[in-house]
């Protein structure tokens, strides 16, 4: 049992902090690889697939849990969306600034809320709708800057990434199946497509160690920790730790590559982060109030 001396809430905080920190290193490690998009995609994805099978075997061998890799056809469709989102994300990294990528991808939970409303009939609350409207303003500022700077393709791919992940999350919510391994095994899709592109064009990754570190350790660690967090924390609390990537990734890239985000992108990112933090705090406060309210008989 992990961290046996800690309370459940503290365990959740530790796990999600580790997961958020690991996820924040994704973009810097991809860029440190210094390769073309298809070669990096192939290497990163193949390493993640290998790590997933090793992790799945260890879980089944040394614990009583028997999690399926892909639990059903709905999960297979979710895996397709996750796989396509991985390709869109890497395409965005190579076609716009890191700040633009992580700021726009932060819109994922709002896409998930919108899709759940459209397909599951889960009408979002007023706080969700207000947050969504504020975030649209922030994303609009970032995209407008991307258009003027010639980064429109990367910004579009970032938005597509958020939409695809939101769709996969909605499927998971609809099926209520255990999908912890689905985002990881889904990397077989970009791996296969990237290999088809690499074979005729040639392989080029100057520093493969960084890409393999990302795909083999950081991504599995991040997804496992963040997927385990909801066992101990509310969804709104877990969502706060996804913001570590939004906040820290541009800082790591600035420190390593001296890439300074445009002021308009920073302004849009500040609006996004502020909206998400406010929304998460409101959700936690509402949850605390509901738990504190005694049941009537």
**Residue 107 in this model has a pLDDT that exceeds 90:** no
Average pLDDT of the segment spanning 64-84: 90
Residue of 191, 6, 179 whose CA lies nearest to 90: 191
The pLDDT score that the predictor gives to residue 287 is: 66
pLDDT band with cut points at 50, 70 and 90 for residue 234: low
Tokens of 258: 């001296």
Among 14-18, 29-33, 145-149, 165-169, where is mean pLDDT lowest?
145-149
pLDDT, the chain, mean: 86
Residue of 166, 230, 212 whose CA lies nearest to 15: 230
Record the pTM: 0.85
**Residue 242 in this model has a pLDDT that exceeds 60:** yes
The pLDDT score that the predictor gives to residue 44 is: 96
Tokens of 232: 């101990």
Dump pLDDT digits (tens) for 152-194: 899 999 999 999 998 988 888 788 777 778 889 999 999 999 9
**Residue 122 in this model has a pLDDT that exceeds 60:** yes
Most confident of 73-77, 130-134, 141-145: 73-77
Helices (H), the chain: 8-24, 26-32, 37-62, 73-93, 98-105, 108-120, 126-149, 152-175, 182-185, 188-201, 208-213, 219-228, 235-257, 263-292
Residue of 268, 38, 30, 26 whose CA lies nearest to 147: 268
Residue of 92, 124, 73, 80 whose CA lies nearest to 26: 92
Instruction: Please state, in angstroms and rounded to a whole number, the distance separating the CA atoms of residues 154 and 93.
Output: 7
pLDDT band with cut points at 50, 70 and 90 for residue 216: very high
User: With b meaning 16 or more CB within 10 Å and e meaning fewer, what string describes 230-243?
Assistant: eebbbebbbbbbbb
Average pLDDT of the segment spanning 51-76: 88
Instruction: Please state, in angstroms and rounded to a whole number, the distance separating the CA atoms of residues 18 and 277.
Output: 19
Following CA atoms 241, 174, 119, 136 in sequence, which dihedral angle do they give, to the nearest 10 degrees?
Answer: 0
φ, ψ for residue 278, nearest 5 deg: -60, -40
Instruction: Please state, in angstroms and rounded to a whole number, the distance separating the CA atoms of residues 288 and 240.
Output: 16
**Residue 297 in this model has a pLDDT that exceeds 50:** no
Residue with tokens 């350790």: 217
More confident residue, 292 or 92: 92
The pLDDT score that the predictor gives to residue 214 is: 97
**Residue 146 in this model has a pLDDT that exceeds 50:** yes
């Amino acid at each position: 049992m992990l961290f046996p001396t800690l309370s459940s809430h503290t365990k959740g905080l530790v796990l999600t902090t580790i997961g958020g920190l690991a996820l924040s290193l994704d973009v810097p490690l991809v860029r440190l690889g210094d390769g073309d998009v298809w070669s990096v995609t192939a290497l990163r994805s193949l390493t993640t697939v290998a790590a997933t099978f090793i992790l799945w075997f260890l879980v089944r061998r040394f614990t009583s849990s028997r999690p399926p890799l892909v639990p059903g056809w709905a999960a297979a469709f979710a895996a397709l969306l996750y796989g396509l989102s991985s390709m869109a994300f890497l395409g965005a990294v190579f076609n716009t600034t890191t700040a633009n990528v992580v700021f726009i991808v932060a819109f994922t939970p709002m896409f998930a809320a919108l899709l759940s409303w459209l397909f599951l009939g889960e009408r979002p609350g007023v706080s969700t709708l207000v947050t969504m409207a504020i975030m649209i303003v922030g994303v609009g500022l970032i995209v407008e800057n991307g258009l003027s700077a010639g980064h429109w393709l990367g910004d579009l791919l970032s938005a597509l990434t958020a939409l695809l992940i939101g769709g996969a999350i909605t499927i998971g919510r609809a099926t209520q199946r255990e999908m912890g391994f689905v985002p990881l095994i889904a990397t077989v899709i970009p791996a296969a497509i990237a290999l088809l592109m690499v074979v005729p064009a040639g392989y080029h990754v100057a520093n493969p160690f960084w890409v393999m570190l990302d795909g083999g350790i950081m991504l599995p660690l991040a997804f496992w920790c963040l997927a385990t967090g909801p066992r101990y924390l509310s969804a709104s609390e877990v969502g706060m730790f996804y913001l570590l990537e939004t906040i820290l990734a541009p800082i790591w890239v600035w420190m390593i590559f001296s890439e300074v985000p445009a002021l308009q992108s920073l302004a849009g990112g500040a609006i996004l982060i502020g909206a998400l933090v406010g929304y998460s705090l409101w959700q936690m406060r509402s949850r605390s109030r509901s738990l504190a309210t005694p049941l009537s008989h």
